[in-house]
Structure 1
Amino acid sequence: MTETVESLFARPLLPIANEADATATCRAAFPHIAGQHGQATVVHVIEKAGGAPDKAGVEQREELADEVFDIVARIADEFGLDVKTELRFATDVAEEILDVADETDATAIVFSPREGRGWWDLFSGDVRKHLVHNDERPVVVLPGSDETEPDSTTDDGDR
């Protein structure tokens, strides 16, 4: 049983919504990935409005992604991990996460729940349901970390 659980962390995909989510998810997942000598991929999907005006400009959203990936890189260094990052733009966030999971041959989709809006928006309703029910790979929800980066309730422009 332990071997099966540990193999989930061989090539996990970590979808990240914002800075606080990056901290919580990486702190929860990276010890497992390092223990497996795994290769993680972190994806940040910028939701496109699909014809409607975007709530924030592309430049602002890309700056958020850079901040998210800086946090990921810093925590990955602490664990001696080489982590791949993917920035994607899509109208269907869940489908894009699944596409990245397919492209990277992810062994699981791994995240840590957050109380802030960014996590809830990314993994609420249809997105969460789509990830869990429309893919054959496991979805792993890890306990969150008490350590946080910027306040998760801060509007990051993606909502």
Structure 2
Amino acid sequence: MTLTFDGTVVVPVADPDDSERTATAVASHLEAGSTAIIVNVIEKAGGAPDKASMAQREEYAADMFDRAREALANSPATIETDVLYGTDVVERTFAEAQDRNADAVVFTAREGNRLAELLTGDVARRMVKEASVPVVALPQE
């Protein structure tokens, strides 16, 4: 059985390598009638100073989107990109999925050690546990 997406999916990406890896993984699952919305959430500090300037972070997101578009260049699907802003990556991703009436949030788990997961809150685990729309975790190719 082959998994395909014929509707709208939100595809969160965290960095340029992740963007390319995730887009490559999702590419074979997209059909002509599907829309993949590649999103990067710029995490705001909620009152504290941000880690980098907004311009730097938006430029970094543009690099992510370029790499995703390259990986999806031969896809029959409609490809959109969007920079999102919020204090919680998981909450903001699902809010966008609901706003866009997405059928699913699709991602590939990022490699990390257990200590990093404990310190960062393990976004992949939260994506599954706190899902408000279906979540598909694709294997890395």
TM-score bracket, normalised by the shorter chain, equals 0.7 to 0.9
Provide the C-alpha distance between the structure 2 equivalents of 1:80 and 1:9, rounded to a whole number of angstroms.
Answer: 11
Q: 2:88 aligns with which of 70, 92, 99?
A: 92
Query: In the TM superposition, what whole-angstrom CA distance separates every residue of 1:23-43 from its partner, at most 9, and x where no partner exists?
Result: 110000011013x64111111
Map 1:8-157 to 2 at 5 A.
8=5, 10-34=7-31, 37-115=33-111, 125=121, 127-145=123-141
Provide the C-alpha distance between the structure 1 equivalents of 2:54 and 2:18, rounded to a whole number of angstroms.
Answer: 20
Matched-pair contact (CA < 8 Å) for 1:9–1:108: no
Q: CA RMSD in A?
A: 2.4
SS at match of 2:91: helix
Paired letter, 2:15: N
Aligned residues: 137
* Percent identity over paired residues: 36
Paired letter, 1:79: S
Provide the C-alpha distance between the structure 1 equivalents of 2:40 and 2:20, rounded to a whole number of angstroms.
Answer: 13
Paired letter, 2:124: R
Which structure carries more relative contact order (alpha carbon 8 Å, separation 6+)?
1
SS at match of 2:72: helix
Change over 3 Å in CA distance of 1:136–1:89 after alignment to 2: closer
Q: CA shift at 1:129, angstroms? A: 4.2
Gaps of 5+ in 1: 146-159
Q: CA shift at 1:82, angstroms? A: 2.3
Paired letter, 1:18: D
Counterpart for residue 151 of structure 1: none
Gaps of 5+ in 2: none
Which deviates more from structure 2 when the two are superposed, residues 83-92 or residues 124-133?
Answer: 124-133
Provide the C-alpha distance between the structure 2 equivalents of 1:85 and 1:66, rounded to a whole number of angstroms.
Answer: 9
Q: Which has the higher strand share?
A: 2
Matched-pair contact (CA < 8 Å) for 1:76–1:82: no
Provide the C-alpha distance between the structure 2 equivalents of 1:78 and 1:93, rounded to a whole number of angstroms.
Answer: 29
Q: Which has the higher helix share?
A: 1
SS at match of 1:79: coil
